[in-house]
Structures are given as C-alpha cells and as structure tokens.
C-alpha cells in the first residue's frame, strides 16, 4: 500500500500537468475532428392536452427547429428523434398564441424555432346531420339505362370544429357507371364541401363510406318531349310571350321511366319585376334515370302589369 502511495506522490506536479495537457489535447482534437455546427430539422407539430369538448385548429402542421451540436450528432439522429408540442392544457375556447415546446436528444442545443410562436384556435366540437347527394360519372353500356340508384342511408353525420362544420353546404358521393350493363353495388366515399365545391377541412363524415346499389335496365328508349319554363313573378305582374329554345328536347332512358314523362320542366325561377324583358339560361329539372344531351335551355319572356279591374256599377 505504501509503495502505491509513493508511486502516486512521486512527481505529482508533473503528473497533474500531464493530465491537463492531455485533456487540452483531447479537446483540441475533438473540436477539430467533430466541431459544433448548426443544423435544422422539420418536425410534425403535436397539439397536446386540449380539452375533449374542443377541436384544436392550427394552420401550421410542421415546425422547423434550428439546433447546434457536434457534427457527428447530425449523422446519428434524424427528425424522428425530435418532438415539438403545442401544450393547450387549461385553455378555453378561442385563439391562443403558443410557444412551441421542443424535446430533443441530449447534446443538442436549441437555437430557434420557425415559427417562434403558433396560433392555435380551440373550436367547439359539434355534430350535424345532412342529407347525402349522389352524382354519376361515366355512362352505362350501350342499349342500357339506369332504372334506379339507391343508397344504404339518407343522412350522414358531420363531426368536427364548429366553424368548419357550419361551412358545409352539401355531402356527396360519386357513382362511377363505367359502362355497366347489369345491376351492381359499390362503396363510395363521402365528400363534405362548401358553397364553392371545395372540401372542408377539420370535418369528419360519419360514416365516411356508404353502399350504393344501381339497377340497370336493358332496352334503352328515346323520345322527344316539350320543354316547359317554370317561371313566376311578383304579385301584380304577369309573364307573357314566354319562349323556350329549344322548344323540344330528346330524352333517353329505361322504357319504364321514359313512358311516364310527357314534358321536361326547367328549374323554377322568379323573374324580377324591374325587368320588362327577361332573357336567361335555365337548367332543366331532369328526372332520375333520364339522360339529355344538354341540361340548359334559353328562355325569354315579357313582364307586364296585370290589368286593374274597374268597378263599372257606378256610372
């Protein structure tokens, strides 16, 4: 034991100096071979701890984090090693400015986040029921016609942020006819859209897919029927000289559908009384299972005051 202590004490100062020099050399070599550099990662944003009765809405889905670490660390770690949180604990309805919270591996230094602050809105979670609309694409096979299209349900439920659910004006699904000549079923996804036909975000349609059954008849029939303009105007006025161009239109479809149709009407339209002459393009109200070459017609009419009945009993 004494020999070990003597060995430690002998040239003690020189040994300390040698250790310091060795450590300095190690630091110098490491800084030269593995210097600290700056780097960035793009990390998905996680919005946490929002109350269950709210939907958090944020325009930002990822955050760029600027970091500093030894060069070897950027080889060792990728973006999956980092987490960025927006903590909504205890916050109420409305807009909130949040500083991102970053969790990263030991050895990294956070320089900045882009953006430095996030705007997160807590929007009430609501539900709303809405009817389903079906539209068709393509056409059935030659000498075939659609007899009936039926869906597994009439209503779906919209679930999501209140301000977005309220933007939805219709929910529709597209039935692809694809030249079919016999009955078929298909699953079609539901689309919730606004007044411009754009899909509304932050809204879930429940169920998101429905079943549609299509009945197809063979024996396509065609015939020509008159077009009737469904025009109306305000009290005290009347419409005269109503003309429709074309006055007749060819319709086609299954015989069981076509036989009962004697006219095709336009979608109802109210003419304003400020106009003396009405000219406009109106859509046709085409029954289900009927096909027309064009679903629009040109309509014109004169707008005049109704004659006032005079009392002729007093002369």
Q: Higher model confidence: residue 19 or residue 273?
A: 273
Q: Give the pLDDT confidence of 123-163 residue by residue, as tens digits.
A: 999 999 999 999 988 888 877 778 789 999 999 999 999 99
Give the whole-angstrom CA distance, residue 187 versus residue 12. 85
CA triple 267-273-278, angle to 5 deg: 55
Judged against a pLDDT cut of 70, whether residue 311 lies above it is answered with: no
Q: What does pLDDT average to over the chain? A: 87
The band of 6, judged by pLDDT with boundaries at 50, 70 and 90, is: low
Q: Give the pLDDT confidence of 195-251 residue by residue, as tens digits.
A: 999 999 999 999 999 999 998 877 778 889 999 999 998 888 888 999 999 999 999
Please answer whether residues 183 and 200 qualify as being in contact, where contact means their C-beta atoms are separated by less than 8 angstroms: no
């Amino acid at each position: 034991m004494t020999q070990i202590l003597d060995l430690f004490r002998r040239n003690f100062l020189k040994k300390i100096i040698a250790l310091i020099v060795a450590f300095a050399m190690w630091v110098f070599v490491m800084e030269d071979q593995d210097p600290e550099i700056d780097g960035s990662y793009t990390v998905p944003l996680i919005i946490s701890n929002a109350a269950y009765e709210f939907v958090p809405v944020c325009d930002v889905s990822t955050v760029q984090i600027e970091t500093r670490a030894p060069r070897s660390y950027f080889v060792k770690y990728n973006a999956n090693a980092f987490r960025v949180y927006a903590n909504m604990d205890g916050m109420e309805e409305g807009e909130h400015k949040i500083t991102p919270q970053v969790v990263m591996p030991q050895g990294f230094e956070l320089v900045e986040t882009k953006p430095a602050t996030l705007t997160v809105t807590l929007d009430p979670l609501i539900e709303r029921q809405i009817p389903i609309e079906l539209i068709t694409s393509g056409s059935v096979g030659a000498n075939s016609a659609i007899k009936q299209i039926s869906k597994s349900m009439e209503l779906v439920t919209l679930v999501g942020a209140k301000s977005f659910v309220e933007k939805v004006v219709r929910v529709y699904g597209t039935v692809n006819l694809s030249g079919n000549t016999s009955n078929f079923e298909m699953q079609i996804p539901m689309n919730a859209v606004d007044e411009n036909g754009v899909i509304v975000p932050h809204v879930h349609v429940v169920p998101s897919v429905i079943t549609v059954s299509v009945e197809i008849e063979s024996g396509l029939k065609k015939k020509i029927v008159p077009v009737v303009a469904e025009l109306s105007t305000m009290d005290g006025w009347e419409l005269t000289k109503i003309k429709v161009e074309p006055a007749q239109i060819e319709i086609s479809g299954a015989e069981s559908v076509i036989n009962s149709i004697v006219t095709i009407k336009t979608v109802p339209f109210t003419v304003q009384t400020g106009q003396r002459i009405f000219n406009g393009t109106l859509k046709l109200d085409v029954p289900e299972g009927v096909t027309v070459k064009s679903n629009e017609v040109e309509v014109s009419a004169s707008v005049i005051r109704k004659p006032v009945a005079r009392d002729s009993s007093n002369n």
